[in-house]
Amino acid sequence: MFLDIQLDHTIVALASGQGGAIANIRISGKKTFDVIGHFFSNNKIQISQGNEIFFGKIIDNKGALIDECLVSCFKSPKSYTGEDSVEIHCHASPYIIAQIIQLCLANGCVHAQPGEFTMRAFLNGKMDLAQAEAVADIIASDNKAAHAIAMNQLRGGFSQDIVQLREGIMRLAALLELELDFGEEDVEFANRQELSSLLKSSINKISQLIASFKLGNVIKDGIPIAIIGEPNVGKSTLLNVFLGEERAIVSEIAGTTRDTIEDTVVWDGYKIRFIDTAGLRKTEDVIEKMGIDRALDSIKKAQIILHIFDKKEGFAEMHSMLLTHSEADSLILKVHNKSDLIEQLEVQPDIHISAKNKTGIEALKARIIDHIKSQIKPFNTLVVNSRHIQELSSTKQALEKALDCLEHEDTHDFIAAELRFALHHLGSLTGQIQTDDLLDIIFRDFCIGK
Ligand SMILES: Nc1nc2c(ncn2[C@@H]2O[C@H](COP(=O)(O)OP(=O)(O)OP(=O)(O)O)[C@@H](O)[C@H]2O)c(=O)[nH]1
Ligand SMILES: [Mg+2]
């Protein structure tokens, strides 16, 4: 439990992952230099002003040489945690790592808890809460777009939005509170028109941040694209072309794919999750029916739906089914496959391809990427954290109530109370307002050493 965290402890943990040639052991806290002085041969580290690297030997209490290594030295407040801190870059042998950590523990360190280095950075004012949360997202990011979102948050992009909102509301809330101090006297320090337009613009801004959540998460986890159509139209062939491998079985027998098949690719920095599905048709086969149910489910979840068809018959019926089952904001592309067999078709598709001959694929890929980019463009900041969405929704609710009170000319104490609520929720986003429980929830999912 984080409630046990004691800042006067000096902590140690392995910060690097499994494998590799070099490991990184981190120490942070008041006794850092005392601890390392017990087993690191280069005493110059003791008089360092920080931001220096020292070469030396790690020698245990019986005089045995454990390793030769580099130690980076950081002096408070100029370190990740804000405390005195060192990073020992030793050889990545599990034996050496265990020995060095044991030496640290024997000489005054305690094991760091998950996320404790970052939590200390937050508690010591090196970053706000939203930035600290972004550290976990940076570590987890596996594609350019997810990395960009986390990096923006780490560099304070999201926090800036919140601080701006908070400052505007705080100024007017202060004036309203002043009116409350004057009690019975009928004074108005806060201009009602200004208050109303500030409330409206803040609600707008927050709505935009909330709206970005779905897209933000989709980008983080992979943008779902469902490949849908009747049996035998070439859906699995197209999946294989997109993935560049024979992932799904392809055959001329209608009903080859029974289950949904998912796999990801990274295109232009975006992680895309393709979902190949069972061909949709009326069937009495129990297994095939289950596959069709899964296909219908993927239509709901997909950001983009590729409606694959190879003939005119049944097209309109299938397309209207897709329109009813899909989310309003998802894109349905009409993709005519097997264009090597039929050139002309009465149905007007968005694109002609031949999955078998790999023609039209680049154009289809370009359409998909253009759509993704156009979806992201309106958002400066994408919110990806569900805690942030909860706080933003509560803020919005309070501001809407405040606006309602204002429009009904309720007394100013009602408005002031709602603004206080809103400020409370905005404050807990960046950590100006915090509770131990909140910190506990945020940091417990971190890895040890971060
Ligand atoms: N001529 C031609 N044949 C194609 C093309 N794309 C796929 N095929 C063939 O069409 C047949 C069906 O392909 P699949 O990819 O298995 O079709 P599917 O839509 O996944 O079929 P189900 O899984 O049964 O729903 C195979 O024989 C493919 O080789 C194409 O562009 N041109
Ligand atoms: Mg198939």
Please state which CATH class domain 139-217+385-431 belongs to.
mainly alpha
Q: Residue 234: is its pLDDT beyond 50?
A: yes
Q: Residue 19: is its pLDDT beyond 90?
A: no
**Other CB atoms within 10 A of residue 33 CB:** 19
Q: What is the pLDDT of residues 83-133, one digit of tens each?
A: 999 999 999 999 999 999 999 999 999 999 888 999 999 999 999 988 988
Please state which CATH class domain 222-376 belongs to.
alpha beta
pLDDT grade, residue 433 (50/70/90)? confident
Centroid of ligand 1 to alpha carbon of 236 (angstroms):
7
**Other CB atoms within 10 A of residue 118 CB:** 24
Ligand 1 contacts CB of residue 236 (under 6 A): yes
Mapping DSSP to helix (H, G, I), strand (E, B) and coil, where does residue 17 land? coil
Same fold, 2-126 and 139-217+385-431: no
Nearest to 80 by CA among 13, 6, 35: 13
Centroid of ligand 2 to alpha carbon of 295 (angstroms):
11
**Helices 129-140 and 386-407: crossing angle, nearest 10°?**
140
Q: Which residues partner with 333 through β-bridges?
A: 306
Q: Which residue has the higher pLDDT, 214 or 36?
A: 36
Q: Residue 2: is its pLDDT beyond 60?
A: no
Mean pLDDT of the chain: 90
Which residues have a Cβ under 8 Å from the Cβ of 336 and sit 6 or more positions away?
A: 309, 310, 345, 347, 349, 351, 352, 353
Q: Which of 228, 235, 236, 237 to mutate to test the pocket of ligand 1 (most atoms within 8 A of CB)?
A: 237
* Residue ranges per structural domain of the chain: 2-126, 139-217+385-431, 222-376
The per-residue pLDDT for 343 is 66
Query: What is the atom index within ligand 1 of the atom nearest the CA of 278?
Result: 25
Q: How far apart are CA 341 and CA 126, in angstroms?
A: 64
Nearest to 402 by CA among 191, 173, 183, 208: 173
Ligand 1 contacts CB of residue 360 (under 6 A): no
Which ligand ends up closest to the CA of 238? 1
**Other CB atoms within 10 A of residue 386 CB:** 10
Q: How far apart are CA 299 and CA 225, in angstroms?
A: 9
Strand residues in 223-380 grouped as ranges (E): 223-229, 261-267, 270-276, 304-309, 331-336, 351-352
Ligand 1 contacts CB of residue 291 (under 6 A): no
Centroid of ligand 2 to alpha carbon of 227 (angstroms):
9
Q: Give the mean model confidence (pLDDT) for residues 234-246.
A: 96
Topology (CATH) of 2-126 = Gyrase A; domain 2 (3.30.1360)
**Other CB atoms within 10 A of residue 193 CB:** 8
Q: Which residue has the higher pLDDT, 33 or 441?
A: 33
The per-residue pLDDT for 3 is 46
Query: What is the atom index within ligand 1 of the atom nearest the CA of 255?
Result: 24
